[in-house]
Amino acid sequence: MTEPVPTASFEFAASPHRSRTIVRGEGAVLWDDHGGRFIDLGATHGAGSLGAANPEVAAAIAAQARSLVHLGSGYANPVRTEFLRRLLGLLPPTFGRVFLSNSGTEAVEAGLKIARSATGRTKVVAAMRGFHGRTMGALSATWRRELREAFEPLVPGFQHVPFNDVAALDAAVDDATAVILLEPVQGEGGVHVATAEFLRAARAAADRTGALLAFDEVQTGIARTGRLFAFERWNVVPDLLLLAKSLAGGVPIGATVTTPEVEARFRGSHHSTFGGSPLACAAGIAALDFVVRERLPERAERLGTIARERLGRLPPERVREVRGLGLLLGVELREKVAPTLAALESRGFLAISAGATVLRLLPPLVISDTDWSAGLGAIEEVVTHGSG
Ligand SMILES: Cc1ncc(COP(=O)(O)O)c(C=O)c1O
The residues that bridge with 127 in the sheet, in sequence order, are 161
Residue 183 CB less than 6 A away from ligand 1: yes
What ligand 1 atom has the least distance to the C-alpha of 46? Answer: 14
Question: pLDDT tens digits, the chain, 388 residues: what are they?
Answer: 445 544 445 555 555 555 689 999 999 999 999 999 999 999 999 999 999 999 999 999 999 999 999 999 889 999 999 999 999 999 999 999 999 999 999 999 999 999 999 999 999 999 999 999 999 999 999 999 999 999 999 999 999 999 999 999 999 999 999 999 999 999 999 999 999 999 999 999 999 999 999 999 999 999 999 999 999 999 999 999 999 999 999 999 999 999 999 999 999 999 999 999 999 999 999 999 999 999 999 999 999 999 999 999 999 999 999 999 999 999 999 999 999 999 999 999 999 999 999 999 999 999 999 999 999 999 999 999 987 6
User: From the CA of 219, how far away is ligand 1's center (Å)?
Assistant: 7
Q: Are strands 212-216 and 177-182 parallel, antiparallel or unpaired?
A: parallel
pLDDT digits (tens, 9 = 90+) for 307-353: 999 999 999 999 999 999 999 999 999 999 999 999 999 999 999 99
CA of 386 to the centre of ligand 1 (A): 31
Torsion sign across C-alpha atoms 332, 337, 343, 345: positive
Residue ranges of alpha helices (H) inside 90-165 are 104-119, 136-141, 145-148
* Residue 248, ligand 1, Cβ within 6 A: no
Pocket flag, ligand 1, residue 319 (CB < 6 Å): no
* 345 Cβ below 6 A of ligand 1: no
Burial of 22-36, coded b for 16+ CB within 10 Å and e otherwise, reads: beebebbbbbeeeee
Ligand 1 lined by 244 (C-beta under 6 Å): yes
Residue-wise pLDDT tens digits, 269-320: 999 999 999 999 999 999 999 999 999 999 999 999 999 999 999 999 999 9
**pLDDT digit string, tens, across residues 106-136:** 999 999 999 999 999 999 999 999 999 999 9
**In angstroms, what CA-CA distances link 325 with 90, 115, 303?**
20, 28, 10
Instruction: Judge if the beta carbon of residue 328 lies within 6 A of ligand 1.
Output: no
44, 100, 101, 131: residue to mutate for ligand 1 pocket, most atoms within 8 A of CB: 131
Which backbone phi and psi does 150 adopt, to 5 degrees?
-70, -15
DSSP state, 228? S
Taking the whole predicted model, whether its pTM rises above 0.85 is answered as yes
Ligand 1 centroid distance, CA of 87 (Å): 19
First to last CA, the chain: 42
- Ligand 1: which residue has its CA nearest to atom 7? 104
**Closest residue to atom 14 of ligand 1, CA basis:** 219
Give the whole-angstrom CA distance, residue 201 versus residue 4.
Answer: 52
Asked if residue 103 has its Cβ within 6 Å of ligand 1, the reply is yes
Pocket flag, ligand 1, residue 219 (CB < 6 Å): yes
Q: Is 133 in the pocket of ligand 1 (CB under 6 A)?
A: yes
Which residue puts its alpha carbon closest to atom 4 of ligand 1?
132
Assess whether the C-beta atom of 276 lies below 6 angstroms from ligand 1: no
Q: How far is the CA of 305 from the centre of ligand 1 (A)?
A: 25
The H or E element that residue 216 is part of is strand 212-216
**So what's the pLDDT on residue 88?**
98
Q: What are phi and psi of 254, to 5 degrees?
A: -140, 145
